Amino acid sequence: MPEFQQTDYLVVGSGIAGLWYALRVSSHGSVLVITKKNDAESATNYAQGGIAAAVAEDDSPERHANDTTIAGMGLAHPDVVKMVTESGPGLVRELYEIGVHFSTYLDAKGRRRFDLGREGGHHRRRILHAADYTGMEIERGLLQAVRATGRVRVSEEHFAVDLLVGSDGCCLGAGVLNTVSGELGAVRARATMLATGGVGQAYLHTTNPQIATGDGIAMGFRAGARVANMEFVQFHPTSLYGSDVGGRAFLVTEALRGEGALLRTSDGQPFMGKYHPDGALAPRDVVARSAHAEMRARGDEYVLLDATHLPPSRLRERFPNVYRNCLEHGIDMTCQPIPVVPAAHYACGGLQVNDWGETSLPGLFAAGECACSGLHGANRLASNSLLEALVFADRAARRAAVVRRTAACGSECGSAGRPVSGSEATAVEEVRRAVRELMWHEAGIVRRDTGLRKAAERLGELENRFLAAPDHGSVQWLETRNTLTVARLVVACARRRPESRGLHYNEDHPVLNESLVHDTVLTQDEMDDGSEQD
């Protein structure tokens, strides 16, 4: 990549949101997609369960909207829920038509149907999937479609450092680090899309890939964009205990419970029935807290996910990825229960966007996990994340195509970064580890006022010390800076919500507070003036 260049549309991130947006705007101008790893490395790639849409004859967008609203615990925006659930069926069929191979079957009349799964919180089978590697298949199909246009450039190993903002407060593009050469340059753009994924690496245990360090949220926040609902971090109830696959815990898809697998304590007793009428298919926040409660009460390190009563051939056919990974860890899921633990999985909060994917910073769009659209409210319904990314990327592309802002000149981005020394790398890793442990223990599945206060104070100390050290421009340093920012945002938002709602559970405030039926919105000015509160 040249040191300075210009494009019509800059896209940061190569998951479903970034690639669908790039595909849609490619007919309106030049498109550059930058990604800090390779083009297929994204949270999308690891999504097993699927994408939710009301395509079955016994289903409807209204039913899907109702399930989404119930899961959102009073904070899901009705207009956004309606828009997304109504847009879903058409867009997933477009995905299928461009070459994403969802699992299908022939019905009794010889008609091809989607093989739909069911997951927690859904009262119909509406999860389109490709066996249990749906995200990988969507990523493959979209990359193929994007490359086929001949109008989209993808630059791998390029890290977006900070946004360029003009004197009029508009986003003009981004400063970009070539992580191979160490060159620091700039890309100026008419419209910039952040599709950088979530914040899972801010926690000690997460199903997210190592790239999920909150980069887009942190960049947007530093540039002045509003963030919302960062307190609502979803913990997936079933990650494989003791697993480490490239820096992440292996996720055991919720679809396995949709097929009838049960959650049991270490002595084999089913426990979800005493927590929720939907049992193992209750919403994720309930299941994760229930598993956490059982582990804490019994002193166990895991609970068991038992699918041994299901047909072995069906398990191997429907869940080849889970089956293979469990075998690699010495577990045959057809005859042994799987030890599982909750792990940080999805951020419902992020850069606040309107229903066209626009942030509060003109010229800056966001979609996918780094955005807060209002769809999820206080708790994401299973498999709604890929749907939300698809719908908002599509709408953002339509809006960006009619924006006639000139890609104005921004200030230059400075000199190239230098290689990081061994001692500096160790210091950075120590800070990152401290953040992850702090967030896991004090701002995790269950929280308390004292813990949140401790986390806020300690994160402030870590950030001050970290930023006072020399900025050597390494990817590790930049990611750690971003992780510190998003960790502080999670804690700050949590302290502004003295209640328990959805994914935010505070033992000091265990009930709903009806005066808090609103989004938690933060700006840079509010963080700078120290207006955090309990």
Q: What is the pLDDT of residues 289-310, one digit of tens each?
A: 999 999 999 999 999 999 999 9
Give residues with Cβ within 8 angstroms of 68, minimum separation 6.
76, 81, 84, 85, 375, 376, 381, 384
Please list, residue by residue across 148-182, b when 16 or more beta carbons sit within 10 angstroms of its beta carbon and e when fewer do: eeeebebebbbbbbbbbbbeeebbbbbbbbbbeee
**Averaged pLDDT for residues 5-27:** 95
Give the pLDDT score at 474.
84
In order of 56, 142, 166, 262, the CA distances from 115 in angstroms are 10, 21, 49, 22
Which residue in 118, 126, 284, 436 is the catalytic one?
284
Please list, residue by residue across 512-528, b when 16 or more beta carbons sit within 10 angstroms of its beta carbon and e when fewer do: eeeebeebbbbbeeebe
What's the rounded Cα separation, in Å, for the pair 111 and 302?
43
Q: Residue 532 is encoded by which pair of tokens?
A: 């955090």
DSSP letters for 52-112: E---STT--HHHHHHHHHHHTTT-S-HHHHHHHHHHHHHHHHHHHHTT----EEE-TTS-E
How far is CA 359 from its chain centroid?
A: 17
Cβ-based neighbour number of residue 320 at 10 Å: 13
Give the pLDDT score at 408.
45
Percent of the chain at pLDDT above 90? Answer: 75
In order of 31, 49, 209, the CA distances from 256 in angstroms are 39, 9, 21
Q: Residue 224 is encoded by which pair of tokens?
A: 């002045």
Written in H, E and C, the secondary structure of 211-244 is CCCCHHHHHHHHCCCCEECCCCEEEEEEEECCCC
Instruction: Specify the pTM.
Output: 0.90
Give the pLDDT score at 48.
56
Side-chain half-sphere exposure of 287, counting CA atoms within 13 A: 34
DSSP count for the chain of H helices, then E strands:
14, 19
What's the rounded Cα separation, in Å, for the pair 294 and 273?
13
Q: Does residue 429 register a pLDDT over 70? A: yes
Question: Is 43 or 60 the better-scoring residue by pLDDT?
Answer: 60
Residue 93 falls in the annotated catalytic set? no
User: In order of start, what are the domains of the chain with their CATH numbers?
Assistant: 238-342 (3.90.700.10), 422-528 (1.20.58.100)
Tens digit of each residue's pLDDT (9 = 90 or more) over 69-103: 999 999 999 999 999 999 999 999 999 999 999 99
Q: Residue 420 is encoded by which pair of tokens?
A: 């990081």
Q: Residue 69 is encoded by which pair of tokens?
A: 């609203």
What's the rounded Cα separation, in Å, for the pair 369 and 213?
12
Give the pLDDT score at 119.
84
The three-state secondary structure class of 47 is coil
What's the rounded Cα separation, in Å, for the pair 83 and 473?
42
**Averaged pLDDT for residues 15-20:** 94
In order of 1, 184, 185, 417, 447, the CA distances from 179 in angstroms are 11, 9, 11, 9, 37
* Confidence tier at 418 by pLDDT (50, 70, 90): very low
Give the pLDDT score at 470.
67
Residue 102 and residue 96 in contact, taking contact as beta carbons nearer than 8 Å: yes
Could you tell me where the beta strands, DSSP code E, fall in 220-313?
A: 227-228, 233-240, 262-264, 303-306
Q: Does residue 416 register a pLDDT over 50? A: no
